[in-house]
Structure 1
C-alpha cells in the first residue's frame, strides 16, 4: 500500500514530496495541471526557509538562481519615511532571496527527481474515503480513466480551491479584502528607479505601489487600484496604465518597459480551524490564504510541509508513536493565524484612505523606523526566523520550541540525514551516548557537544528545540523521549 499521496505540485507539495522521499517514504505526487507554474507568482524565499532547505539538501541551487534584496524602503511624496534592513536578520541568509515561483518549482522538481520522484501531471483527485488506517482515493487521468489508490495518508497541498479540503467539508473561514490590485512583471529603467537590491514601497493618498526586484533585471509592480463591480471583471491592464500609475504614485523618474505579465488580483484572507481529520492532512494554501504583504504565503506553506514531513515519516517508519502527528495541527495552525493577522495588518495600514489617518501613519512610520530595534523586529518577522512553538505539546523546558540557530553546529545541521532523528546536545558525552542507545529510533547515536553551557537539549529534525533542561536533567529527557516512542506502553 502507498504510504503517502500528495495532491498538488506547487512549492508546498513539491517540498513535502521531496522530504518524504528523502526519508524513504513511498510517495506519489499528482497535479491536475498540464505543466508547472509559468508565471512569477510568489517571489520571496526568506531566511528560515533557506535554513530548512539546507537540511533538505537543495539550498545552493536556490542561492545561485535568486537575487538578494538587502532591505525595504518606504517612501511618500518623494521623501523616504524609513528603511528596514535585512542584514540584521539573525541568520546566514540575512537577505530576501527574490526568485519567481516558476523557478522555485523548477528547482524543486529537479530536487525531487534526485529521489526518483516525478510529478504525475493531468491526474486529478476525484474523491476519497477513510476507513481505519487507510485512505481510498479515486484518481482521474487526462484520458478519463479512473484509478483507485489505497494510501496510509492523503495530504492536500492543492491550493485555495482545495479538493481535499472540500472533501473533508472543512469551513474556510474569512473574507475578501475588497479592493482590486494591479500586477505587472516588467523592467524598470531610468535614474529615478529604485535600487535593484531593495523592495520599494510608495505610500500615496490614492493607495500603495510596491516594486520588487526580480533576477535578470526585471521587477514586479503591484498597486491597490480600488473597488470594482465583481460582476464585471476588469480587463487586463496595459503598459500605459502601469506607467501612469507609477508616475502618479512614485513621482516619475523611471520608465516601465518589456511587460511579460499584466493582470489583476484580489486579496482573500481565509483559514481552516484545523489542519487534519483522520489520515487526511492539509498544508499551504489549502489551509490558509492571506495578503501577499510581507511575502509570507509560500514560505509558510513550505514550512508546513517540512513540519509535517518528519513527523509523518517517523510514524510511518515506526520510529515514533502515532500521537506525534497530533502536534502538526496546533503548531502550524498557530503560525498560520499569526501570519494571516500580520499580513492583514500590513495591508490595512498601507491602504488607509482617510487623509488624517494617512498623515498619522506616515509620521508613525518615520518615527518607528528610526530605531534599529524596530527595523530588526520587522526583518525578523518577515524572515520567519522568529517563529517558535512554545505552546506545542512537543515543547518542554526553558526555551523549548525556539529555533535552534544553525551557528550552534559545526557540522551537518540537525535533520539533514536520510532518517529523521532528534539530536542531543550535552557536555556529558558518556551519558548522552547511553541515552541514545536506549532510544536508537529517536536519537542520533552520537551526542553533540554544547560548549560552555550546562544544558541538556534535544533538537527536533526540523531544527526547533523540543526539550531543554539542566545538564543533569537526564530523567526528564528520558521521560520526554519515552512519551514519543513507538514502543511505549
Structure 2
C-alpha cells in the first residue's frame, strides 16, 4: 500500500513532533504524524515551558490553553553552605510571559494533540518506521502497524522527532557524539508539606555537600524532586522508595519538609550528545533526535519545540512554491548553533552543581553569592533560561547589523509578526507606498501591508518566526529586493 506523496511524514508524537505537525497544519501543509507507542506520555517528564516558547505559541494559537493549565514560577532560589546564595527573578524577563510555566509533559502533549485535532489531524499510534530511502522527488518509507501490516509511504519530506534513540537518525547514519555524566540521579513526583517547604511559585536549588537537590513546583500542589545519589557504576538499580526520598529531603533540604503521595519514582543518568548536522537531503532531525543534554535549566523540550518552529515555516514556504528549496539549507546551521550553546550551558550548570571537592564547593558558593548580588547577573541568568536571547546572528538568512535577533513581540498592529495561516515575512518601513509595492512583487513571501518601523531610519524584514532577517537603512529598498530574490523562486 502506498501513501499519498503530498503528506510530510513526521515520526514521533512527543511535544516536538506535535509542535511541528501543528505548525505545518496551520500553514496548510498536509502532514501525517506517527508514533510507535500505544499511548501518549503519562508522566511529567519535561516540566517547564519557557518565555520564548510561549511567545512562539502565540503564532500557533494555543498559548491560552497552556497558561490555564500551568503554574507560573516567578524565580529560583539557590542555597548552599546553610545560606541563601541568591537567584534569578523571572519577572525580570523582557517578555509578555515573564515566568517559567510549570506544566507536566503529559499535559503539554495533551494540549498540543487537542490543538492538532482542530486541523483535523490525529496521531497514528502503534505505527513504526522500519526503513527509508531517498527517491528522485522525496523519500520512500516502510511502516509497520500493530496488526503486522506493512505499508510503503512516499513523502516529500521525512522528519525525525523520534527522540534519543531515533530510527530516523540511525537510518541516516549520523553519529550522536557525546558522553554520559558520571552520576546516578533520583527523580520523584510527590507532595511536599511542612514549615520549610519552599514557596509554591519558585524553583528551589540546594547545593549540598553530598550533591545537588532541586525542587520544582508542579500544578496541583505537587513537586518534582531531583537529586544525585552517588556515582554511576553501570549496575541496574530498583526505583527509589518514598522513604529514600524522605531521607534525601531531610539530609539536603532540612527536616522540616514531609513527602507523600508519590506518582512517579525513577532513576536516570544524564547524557549529553548531539549530531553535527540536522539532516540530509529531504530528511531532517528535530529535538532529542538531534540533541540531548542535561535537564539543568529545563531547556531540552523548549529547544526541540523551537527547532520545530524554525523548520516548519521554511518547509511551508518551499512546499507552497514561494521559496527555493535552498531555504531549507539554513535549518541545520541555525539550530546546530543553538543546540551547541544549550548543550554547553546545561553541561556547565551540571558540572558546577555536582562539584565534589569541599574546597571547590566553598569557592563556588562564595562566587555565586557574590555574583548573584548583582541585578545584571540575575537578569542575565533569567534571560538565558527563558531563551529570549537566542538568535541567529551567523545565519545565512541574517543580513545587516542586528539581523538574527528576536524582534519585539508585538507591534502597533497588536499581533505577533508572522501570525496567521501563511508563513510570510513582515516588512517594517517608513515608506508605506514603497513597502506595498515591494509586497506586491513578492506576494508569497511578504505580508501585503507593511508596518510602521519602531526603529526610526531603519528597514526590517522580520521572519515568520519573529527574528530579524534583513536589517537595512530606511531607504535601502535595493537590499530588501535582493534579499527576497535570494530566498524566493523568482
Pairwise same-fold verdict (TM > 0.5) = yes
| Kept in 2: contact 1:77–1:250 (CA 8 A) | no
**Structure 2 residue aligned with 1:202:** 206
Of 448-457 and 244-253, more deviation after overlay is shown by: 448-457
| Kept in 2: contact 1:77–1:251 (CA 8 A) | no
Tell whether 2:80 aligns with 1:76. yes
For structure 1, the 5+ residue unaligned runs are: none
**Structure 2 residue aligned with 1:58:** 62
Q: How far, CA to CA, are the matches of 1:413 and 1:284 in structure 2?
A: 24
The structural deviation recorded for 1:273 is: 0.5
**Structure 1 residue aligned with 2:227:** 223
**Structure 2 residue aligned with 1:420:** 423
Residues 269-301 of structure 1, C-alpha deviation per residue, up to 9 Å, x if partnerless?
000000010100000000000000000000000
One of 170, 191, 195 as aligned partner of 2:195: 191
**Structure 1 residue aligned with 2:237:** 234
Local SS of the residue matching 2:132: strand
What's the Cα RMSD here? 0.8
Local SS of the residue matching 2:363: helix
| Kept in 2: contact 1:78–1:250 (CA 8 A) | no
Tell whether 2:173 aligns with 1:160. no
The structural deviation recorded for 1:410 is: 3.1
Matches within 5 A, 1:86-165: 86-165=90-169
| Kept in 1: contact 2:81–2:362 (CA 8 A) | no
**Structure 2 residue aligned with 1:323:** 326
One of 254, 257, 266 as aligned partner of 1:254: 257
The structural deviation recorded for 1:115 is: 0.4
Tell whether 2:29 aligns with 1:28. no
Tell whether 2:463 aligns with 1:463. no
For structure 2, the 5+ residue unaligned runs are: none
Question: Are the structure 2 counterparts of residues 303 and 73 from structure 1 closer, same or farther at C-alpha, using a change threshold of 3 Å?
Answer: same
Runs of 4+ off more than 4 Å: none
Q: How far, CA to CA, are the matches of 1:319 and 1:24 in structure 2?
A: 14
One of 246, 257, 281 as aligned partner of 1:243: 246
| Kept in 2: contact 1:78–1:251 (CA 8 A) | no
Question: Are the structure 2 counterparts of residues 457 and 177 from structure 1 closer, same or farther at C-alpha, using a change threshold of 3 Å?
Answer: same
Tell whether 2:390 aligns with 1:387. yes
One of 293, 297, 300 as aligned partner of 1:297: 300
| Kept in 2: contact 1:9–1:31 (CA 8 A) | yes
One of 335, 341, 345 as aligned partner of 2:344: 341
Q: How far, CA to CA, are the matches of 2:210 and 2:240 in structure 1?
A: 17
**Structure 1 residue aligned with 2:216:** 212
Local SS of the residue matching 1:260: strand
Local SS of the residue matching 1:408: coil
**Structure 2 residue aligned with 1:169:** 173
Tell whether 2:23 aligns with 1:19. yes
The structural deviation recorded for 1:79 is: 1.4
The structural deviation recorded for 1:72 is: 0.3
One of 434, 438, 441 as aligned partner of 1:435: 438
Tell whether 2:481 aligns with 1:478. yes
Q: How many residues align?
A: 486
| Kept in 2: contact 1:425–1:456 (CA 8 A) | yes
